[in-house]
Amino acid sequence: MHSTDRALDADAPVSATSRVLHLRRGGTSVVIDLDASPTPAIVHWGEELVDSPDESLGSLALAARPQRVSGGLDETARLTVIPTPAGGWLGTPGLEGHRSGAGFSARFDVAGIQANDHRASLALVDGESRLAAQLELRVGPSGLFHQRLTVRNTGETPYTVQSLQLFFPVPWDATELLDTTGRHLRERTPQRREFTFGTHLRESRRGRPGADATLLLAAGRPGFGFETGRVHGIHVAWSGNHRVLAERVVTGEAFLAGGELLGAGEIVLAPGTSLASPWVIGSWGDGLTELSHRFHDEWRRRPQHPRRPRPVTLNTWEAVYFDHSLEKLSQLADAAAQAGIERFVLDDGWFAGRRDDTKGLGDWYVDETVWPEGLHPLIRHVRGLGMEFGLWVEPEMINPDSDLARSHPDWILRGRMQLPPSARQQQVLDLAHPEAYAYIAERLHAILDEHEIAYLKWDHNRDLVDAGSGPEGVARVHDHTLAVYRLIDELKAAHPGLEIESCASGGARVDLGILDRTDRIWTSDSLDPLERLANQRHTALVVPPELMGMHLTSPVVHSSGRAVGLGLSAAVALFGHFGVEWDLTSAAPETRERVAEWVALAKRVRPLVATGRTVDVDGTDPGIDVRGIVAEDAAAAFFTITQVETTVAYPPGRIRMPGLDPARRYRVQVLSPGQPYEDAGQSALEWATQGVVLTGRELATIGLRPPVQLPQRSTVVELTALS
């Protein structure tokens, strides 16, 4: 295909080899058989076919066509871009809908195609069902494969959309699945299973992705890991209800699919109106690391991606909770500034009546009983210390015990007269209600106009349950999600430079829909560094590390009660947007000095975190975690060696450090912020004390002995290429 858009004639005669579209960029090819029936079919998604001529691609399309077999249909059905039962497809359909119970059958024909070398738009029509559709397909600069489907009602009666799914075929030998599950304080816990015949379905019905949602659904060759094994995965870039599935059918097709999960009657298209699905994004790689780098690299290319160094942040929640006073918070700000903190965020408890978590949500006015002069004295103090000021908000939520709820109970999302079950003593505000939206927008704009606020920590502390527009109203998650997007976009447009964090009971709203308009996510409310290892590794399958909030914590972890050392807590937090969640005024002076050393190291490595490539090392002893970040030009890297538990081998066997330039030589040295280097061995680890120079190939294939460490210890290793 040529690089400029061109139209393809959908009615052109079939040649000896099929007409095909070949979309390619960033190491990825997508080959589409235009002559498949009734709509085109994707015959390849994966490795870029750099030397395949059109004739060969046509033959590839022919080679993918199934034969008719006994017991089957007379016209063989296959997976197409919008498979439906009317075309003979008996698996999960691409579109389901009806007109008041009738007109359920849909079968699309191609009306036109616009395409260039990495993007295509297919116009599809079904005159009988009076529907039109546009399928957008594009391969991004880093090789991500994006799909979005828009369906329009061309009839004269309403059409109810039940589901829209986008389909990503995977190789037949991809027989192992990986997804994640979890709960509050333990999001994105990995789980694997065999990819057998039938459907593996994951749905989020929480009105947000949820702590138990899978960020990625991946299928690969058995035993695929981070470093090796061909693997394909998809992500739904949507912050409301969604569905992903893996399906293997007896007609020889295996695929991943995803889209929005719609409530009963949630989308009814009036004549002439349309519904666009979320973007569903696919990535692939030889190992999960390569798959994740496609997400990271493409996300970093966005014009709105944060470019300045990520400010080291202190959040006040675990330091003061609801115990607010100007004196206490000013002392905390002093301690933060002394440690090198750059952003001070005032968490929950600053607004009217908010002395605990049972009341006040929705009353977005500064509490005059706690702040008689408003927030201005604290903000002046924080900014006078050279730090930015940030503020916690939860605009989508409302406490029944609030002036707002008493004045406007009709603004609460509900499907019945009775309110939905409460969570954290709160309900959800219906932002799709025009008056509720206008109130919240006015309050947030007013707060930002009055104060010098650089950052909003936007929280979302409960699932949406029975979320409707009122008794006997309509399902509202779709419209509410779009309203949240619109509100965030409006705030950022009106307040240039404002940064927003997506927090949702920790990491319950982590998706590329919300991250296309915010500047980071709060990865988890759990700051337990051992719990964070798996969480951060699997969040980074999709999210670039610089957009993941990672904070060191207090000596006793709030969420788990585990006693942890500063070295472990800080080392685990180095691999993202670094911060502190701790009452530093309670720490001894020497401890604060050590915190300052770690903050200084975080500042030194953050350019690497923001631009480098993550490395997760396979094959280590189960008691040892090894991960790192390597500069894009491979000139520098840092790794952590974390002792999760004791090992049977004692001293432990060698660990590898892959991802470097095989031909370059690297000086390898241990960093020990705030204290001299020491380990639990009874003799010195010679390479750590004397220093060594090894090639990238030697480090990747042979490695070196890790230090002998007690459990819950971590060692930071810096690698610098020699000129």
Q: Which residues contact 48 (CB under 8 A, 6 or more apart)?
A: 24, 26, 27, 28, 29, 143
* DSSP 8-state symbol, 514: G
| Cα–Cα nearest to 549, from 187, 248, 293, 266 | 187
Instruction: Compute the radius of gyration of the chain from its Cα atoms.
Output: 27
Strand 28-33 vs strand 41-47: parallel, antiparallel, or unpaired? antiparallel
Residues 94 and 41: their CA atoms lie apart, in Å, by 13
Which phi and psi (to 5°) does residue 171 adopt?
-60, 150
| Cα–Cα nearest to 479, from 434, 425, 533, 527 | 434
Query: What are the Cα distances from residue 541, in Å, to 244, 257, 282, 388?
Result: 16, 18, 12, 30
- Tokens 């490695």, located at residue: 703
Q: Which residues make beta-bridge pairs with 282?
A: 145, 234
Q: Which listed residue (363, 525, 583, 621) is catalytic?
A: 525
Spatial contact of 274 and 257, defined as CB atoms under 8 Å apart: no
Which pair of tokens denotes residue 24? Answer: 């390619």
Question: Cα 554 from chain centroid?
Answer: 27
Q: Which residues make beta-bridge pairs with 399?
A: none
DSSP assignments along 576-598, one per residue:
SEEEEES-GGGS-HHHHHHHHHH
Q: Which residues make beta-bridge pairs with 614?
A: 629
Which phi and psi (to 5°) does residue 50 adopt?
-75, -25
Residues 392 and 380: their CA atoms lie apart, in Å, by 18
Query: What are the Cα distances from residue 473, in Å, to 397, 413, 439, 467, 477?
Result: 19, 10, 21, 10, 12
Contacts 24+ apart (CB under 8 A), 673-676: 673/567, 673/570, 673/594, 673/597, 673/598, 673/600, 673/601, 673/716, 674/566, 674/567, 674/593, 674/594, 674/595, 674/596, 674/597, 674/598, 675/567, 675/594
Spatial contact of 719 and 666, defined as CB atoms under 8 Å apart: yes
Spatial contact of 674 and 597, defined as CB atoms under 8 Å apart: yes
Q: Which residues contact 145 (CB under 8 A, 6 or more apart)?
A: 28, 30, 45, 137, 138, 139, 168, 281, 282, 283
Residue 109 a catalytic site member: no
Query: What are the Cα distances from residue 265, in Å, to 151, 152, 153, 396, 661?
Result: 16, 16, 15, 23, 55
Residue 516 a catalytic site member: no
DSSP assignments along 406-450, one per residue:
HH-GGGB-BSSSSPPPPBTTBEEB-TTSHHHHHHHHHHHHHHHHH
| Cα–Cα nearest to 250, from 383, 13, 50, 78 | 78
Helix, strand and coil percent figures for the chain, each rounded to 5: 20, 30, 45
Q: Residue 182, SS3?
A: strand
Q: Which residues contact 488 (CB under 8 A, 6 or more apart)?
A: 458, 500, 517, 518
Q: Which listed residue (459, 511, 625, 661) is catalytic?
A: 459
| Cα–Cα nearest to 172, from 250, 253, 249 | 253
* DSSP 8-state symbol, 680: S
Which phi and psi (to 5°) does residue 323 adopt?
-85, 80
Which pair of tokens denotes residue 249? Answer: 């059918």
Residues 345 and 314: their CA atoms lie apart, in Å, by 6
User: What amino acid positions are annotated as catalytic residues?
Assistant: 459, 525
